[in-house]
Amino acid sequence: MSVTDTPPPPTAYVNARLIDPASGLDASGALLAEGETIVDFGPGLFAAGVPDGMRSVDCGGHVLCPGLVDMRVQVREPGEEHKGTLASAGQAAAAGGVTTMVCLPNTVPVIDDISVVEFVARRARLLGLAKVYPYGAVTKGLEGSELAEMGLLAQFGAVAFTDGVKSIADSATMRRALQYAATFDLLIVQHPEDPGLAGEGVVNASPMATRLGLVGIPPQAEVIFVERDIRLLELTGGRLHIAHVTTADAIDAIRAAKARGLRVTCDTAPFYFALNELAVGDYRTFAKLSPPLRGESDRQAVIAGLADGTIDVIASDHAPEDEESKRLPFGQAAFGGVGLETLLPISLELERNGQLSMIDLLRKLTSAPADLLGLPAGRLERGGPADLLLFDPERPWRIDREDLLSKSKNTPFDSYLTQGRALRTVIDGRTVFQR
């Protein structure tokens, strides 16, 4: 990996398969970046050769597209740097082709104050790796009762609002949050799980949980909150995004709400379309996730939701946990798995299996999350930022947790055989990762 401090000379990326999901472009061509911006791109560019004085990068026929936009990342800084930092998350993001991250507010202190919003933005700029935008907390201290100053936090850079890995459980609080957010046209992001019904559960409620002697979380814990929040959305006229959907019933409810014209969107993570509850195996704590891995019928429903457009975005749900938090009996181990470096290859399985076209898949990883959050990212645009990803969709590799750049290595995909890998990641015209 190499990081440079000064902008490079004008760079011509030639012999590329250019894909821009925002415009529908998928063609052989080239791209010119100068300084921090894209100057030009298209099928006919540099047909007569690259002019003298330009640096040339031969893309080898591989895909050149906008850098990925990951709208659900836990960076752990400030407060839990032993699990992850903005630097380690930035390095992992670069290795995975992610040029823009949106971080959850469950840091220490919580991102419910202007000073923490500014800290995250300042640290990310100094590091010069992936661009980082913060979510603001919906409730102060993520305690689920008193609303944070969302309007003020938005003025200082918070791009949307969520209580992170906690549900906004109280219906009156959720109603107030949606109403308040609606006055500023802000987005509320909900972790859809009824905490009372989930209780002390650690895996999906199923015969497998019974066999393992583990407390299960019923799928109904997800759909109950999805349906409740859709009703509150109807009442308030706000904007609602449901994070990491995992169940057929929840996806059906969102599909129906969209058909009624409600402003509801949702995302899922690669864990939930590539794995099912069997990945827990003999108490594999790296596969202990929140929400839990579900049964095979729910996994298939997630794929169907991606294919028909009900699920708008794929996010990594990157949740680094240190060894001491994971190397415990299953019931005591922490929830979560790292995902920045596996977001692209695992998502590409949907294209290889014929479930999504390449351009539709990349849209869910680039322009869709960027547009949802109003970010200047996720598209190839003349005069726009030169945030680029060059990747080989066919490159085979075995995921090895020890090779991951993430500070924590808790991936449920350890030893998983996959295809597709980032070859070069460019942020503001600078190559920050090269394989």
CATH number at residue 228: 3.20.20.140
Question: Which of 322, 344, 373 is the C-terminal boundary of a domain?
Answer: 373
Asked whether residue 6 is assigned to any structural domain, the reply reads: no
Are 21 and 112 within one domain? Answer: no
Could you tell me if 386 and 36 are in contact, meaning their C-beta atoms sit under 8 angstroms apart?
A: yes
The candidate with the shortest Cα–Cα distance to 38, out of 22, 49, 62, 52, is 22
Could you tell me if 319 and 288 are in contact, meaning their C-beta atoms sit under 8 angstroms apart?
A: no
Asked whether residue 230 is assigned to any structural domain, the reply reads: yes
Are 99 and 236 within one domain? Answer: yes
Asked whether residue 5 is assigned to any structural domain, the reply reads: no
* Confidence (pLDDT) at 47: 86
* Backbone region of residue 200 per phi and psi (left: phi > 0; alpha: psi in -120 to 50; beta: other values): alpha
**By residue range, what is the domain housing residue 419?**
11-64+386-434
Per-residue model confidence as pLDDT tens digits over 278-315 = 999 989 999 999 999 999 999 999 999 999 999 999 99
Are 406 and 285 within one domain? Answer: no
Active site includes 428?
Answer: no
Could you tell me if 420 and 385 are in contact, meaning their C-beta atoms sit under 8 angstroms apart?
A: no
The residues, ordered by sequence, that sit 6+ positions from 73 with a Cβ below 8 Å of its Cβ are 89, 93, 101, 102, 103, 104, 315, 316, 318, 340
Are 281 and 404 within one domain? Answer: no
Are 217 and 328 within one domain? Answer: yes
Give 426's strand partners. 388, 431
Asked whether residue 381 is assigned to any structural domain, the reply reads: no
- CATH code, 22: 2.30.40.10
Per-residue model confidence as pLDDT tens digits over 372-393 = 999 999 999 999 999 999 999 9
Domain count, the chain: 2
Low-confidence ranges of the chain (pLDDT < 70): 1-8
Are 424 and 363 within one domain? Answer: no
Asked whether residue 378 is assigned to any structural domain, the reply reads: no
Are 28 and 99 within one domain? Answer: no
Are 349 and 256 within one domain? Answer: yes
Are 179 and 59 within one domain? Answer: no
* Confidence (pLDDT) at 7: 61
Are 299 and 402 within one domain? Answer: no
* Confidence (pLDDT) at 53: 85
Asked whether residue 227 is assigned to any structural domain, the reply reads: yes
Asked whether residue 242 is assigned to any structural domain, the reply reads: yes
Catalytic residue among 267, 298, 317, 414: 317
Mean residue pLDDT of the chain comes to: 96
Asked whether residue 360 is assigned to any structural domain, the reply reads: yes
Question: Which of 326, 349, 373 is the C-terminal boundary of a domain?
Answer: 373
Q: What is the DSSP letter of 335?
A: P
Flag whether the pTM goes above 0.85.
yes
Are 37 and 147 within one domain? Answer: no
Question: Which of 326, 352, 373 is the C-terminal boundary of a domain?
Answer: 373
User: What is the number of H-type helices and E-type strands within the chain?
Assistant: 14, 18
